[in-house]
Amino acid sequence: MKIDEHRRLSLRTWFVLAFSFLLITPFLIVFVVVNSFSTSSTPQPLGQTIGLTNRTIQMVLQNVPVWANPAWQSRLRAKLSTTAMEVRLFNRSHRMIFSYTPNDLRMSHLYAFMRIHSHQSASIDYQETWIDQKHVILNGSVILGIADIDEPMIVLANKLPVDTSFHNWVSGPGAIIIWFLAFVISFILIMYFIGRVFVSKMKRVEVLVRQINLGYFDIDLPSSVIREVNDLSLSLSTMRDNLNAALMARDQVEQERRLLMASIVHDLRTPIFTIVGYLEGLQKGIAKNTHQADRYINACLEKSLVLNQLVSDLFKYSTIDQPEQTLHCEEIDWVTLIEQVVEGFQLKAVNQNVHLTHDYSAFPIIISGDPELLMRAISNVVENAFRYTPIGGDVALLSEIVNQQLRFTVVDSGPGFLLDDLAHIFKPFYRGDKSRNRKTGGSGLGLSITKKIITAHSGQIHASNSEAGGACITISMPL
């Protein structure tokens, strides 16, 4: 179950809570236990407890004229026999006309009261006191009678244990033992909690970090109610994901590097092998006449130019990685720039019988960039289009403004890209022709260099096939 981040407490807060629990809990337990065995005494009027005191007193005070009536006195004695009160009645001449003393009944009523109010059948300690009430009944200023009532009061022990020695032990040295036991139990509970939510989580994190170090990334780091532990797990999870992505990217780069080196070696070895062969032939005198020697020399020169172009492309490809050192930006009229490129390919178009056109927007298209690099990038795209356009075909260039951006498109009437090649078109040394024949392709760096130049100008380049089936290269750049 996931815990809300706002409900996670810091490690410091958990330790404060644990320390407070360790200090407070033992004292709280001792207080509860000791008070459970302590005497809590409250005075209770005996007559009121059995429900007769008020009624009996009212019977006496409201019937002064019949105090001397024997029948009424008999009823009063019957009432008083159920209580522990002592009653004496005097007439106006202060002569006693009625007296009642409970004698032995008093103790029996006390024991009956204590049995009712105690859950224990053993004897219960009590303290007995008496309240002396003297009531003078007047009629105006004339005394009608005097009632002297003694009402007993007792103090009972509430839940008093039978064994008073155990009570004394709990209230004395036993409290220290109870406090110590409560402290030990609280300490064990705290250690268990710390081990469960902190130590075990940290050990789990340590094991998982070792697995990450060994290259195992398919693991889940534990969450915790402790904020710092949970933050550590989240940080390690992020590190794990980033490390996994970095290793995958490294493997991809390494694979591309190997392909790049293999392609470089292949493209360098072929012209060098040809040059060495022809030079050895000239050295050994294989060329029998001047015409044959000139043919060998021209072949060596041609292959030397190929090597020079390949080295130049490699140098340009490596320097484009540092655009802040290679870009020399200025305001450029895009249409004028493309027209210069088109003019440079006019002779090639005539020789290959290819129809080269450039359509552009009527509005001026002004961008900021390095004119030399942009001309090289566009020339690479146009050169690639000419390479695969058949005799009598078309190469169409279109410059327009779309969504406040420059969009430049080069479309040829060649066979177009294979679907498997579209994802690799802009990779260095990639060619659709796996034989890497010079007659069907260049060095394989042209479109890669173009992509780097366009990206350095905050633009994008995309390869696709046109509706007619030819290759289509689209470049988008900010105005």
Give per-residue pLDDT as tens, 133-157.
788 888 777 888 888 888 765 544 4
Handedness of CA 254, 258, 259, 260 (dihedral sign): positive
What pLDDT, on a 0 to 100 scale, did the predictor assign at position 313?
66
Helices in 321-407 by DSSP H: which ranges? Answer: 323-326, 334-344, 346-352, 371-388
> H or E element: which one contains 220?
none
Compute the average pLDDT of residues 232-256: 80
Residue 119 one-letter amino acid: H
Whole-number pLDDT of residue 456: 85
- List, for residues 315-355, the tens digit of each pLDDT value: 666 666 554 556 778 898 999 999 988 888 888 888 889 89
Position 5 pLDDT exceeds 60 = no
Backbone angles phi, psi at 65, to 5 degrees: -65, -25
Q: What is the mean pLDDT of the chain?
A: 75
How confident is the model over 244-266, as a mean pLDDT?
75
356 contacts 395 by C-beta, under 8 angstroms: yes
> In the prediction, which pLDDT does 108 show?
47
Percent of the chain residues past pLDDT 90, beyond the cut: 4
Residue in 44, 42, 57 with CA at minimum distance from that of residue 152: 44
Structure tokens at 126: 């009590």
Mean pLDDT within 270-290: 79
Q: Given this model, what pLDDT does residue 320 score?
A: 62
Neighbouring residues of 24: CB distance < 8 A, sequence distance ≥ 6:
none
Query: How far, CA to CA in Å, does 452 sit from each of 6, 88, 303, 309, 434?
Result: 46, 124, 27, 18, 24
What are the tens digits of pLDDT across the range 409-457? 999 988 888 887 777 777 766 655 544 444 444 556 678 888 888 888 8
Closest CA to 337 of 164, 186, 475: 475
Q: How far apart are CA 405 and CA 365, in angstroms?
A: 9
Cα 308 versus chain centre, distance? 57
Longest dimension (CA), the chain: 180
Both structure tokens of 86 = 């002592």
Residue 51 has pLDDT above 60, yes or no: no
What CATH topology corresponds to 226-319? Helix Hairpins (1.10.287)
Residue extents of the structural domains in the chain = 5-36+167-212, 41-160, 226-319, 326-478
Say what the alpha-carbon torsion angle 70, 75, 76, 79 is, to the nearest 10 degrees. 160
Whether pLDDT at 131 is above 80: no
Of 438, 349, 333, 334, the residue nearest 389 (C-alpha): 349
pLDDT category, 166, cuts 50, 70, 90?
low
pLDDT band at 186 (very low <50, low <70, confident <90, very high): confident
- With bands split at pLDDT 50, 70 and 90, how would you rate the model's confidence at 397? very high
Residue 42 has a pLDDT of 42
- Token pair for 475: 């470049």
CA-CA distance, 170 to 164, in Å (whole number)?
10
DSSP character string of 154-176: EEEETT--S-HHHHHHHHTHHHH
Q: Does residue 479 carry a pLDDT above 70? A: yes
As a whole number of angstroms, the distance between CA 193 and CA 187 comes to 10
Q: Just give the CATH number of 41-160.
A: 3.30.450
pLDDT at 260: 66
pLDDT digits (tens, 9 = 90+) for 462-471: 988 888 888 8
* Cut 0.75: pTM above it: no
pLDDT digits (tens, 9 = 90+) for 69-96: 888 888 888 888 877 788 888 888 888 8
Question: Which CATH number applies to 326-478: 3.40.50.2020, 1.10.10.10, 3.40.50.970, 3.30.565.10?
Answer: 3.30.565.10
CA atoms of 127 and 364, how far apart (whole Å):
115
The yes-or-no verdict on residue 49 having pLDDT over 50 is no
Q: What is the pLDDT of residue 155?
A: 44
Burial 258-289 (b: 16+ CB within 10 A, else e): eebeebbeebeebbeebbeebeebeeeeebee
DSSP string across 277-343:
HHHHHHHHT---SHHHHHHHHHHHHHHHHHHHHHHHHHHHHHHTT-HHHH---EEEEHHHHHHHHHH
Q: How far is CA 332 from CA 156, 375, 473, in A?
A: 109, 11, 21
Q: How confident is the model at residue 101 (pLDDT cuts 50, 70, 90)?
A: confident
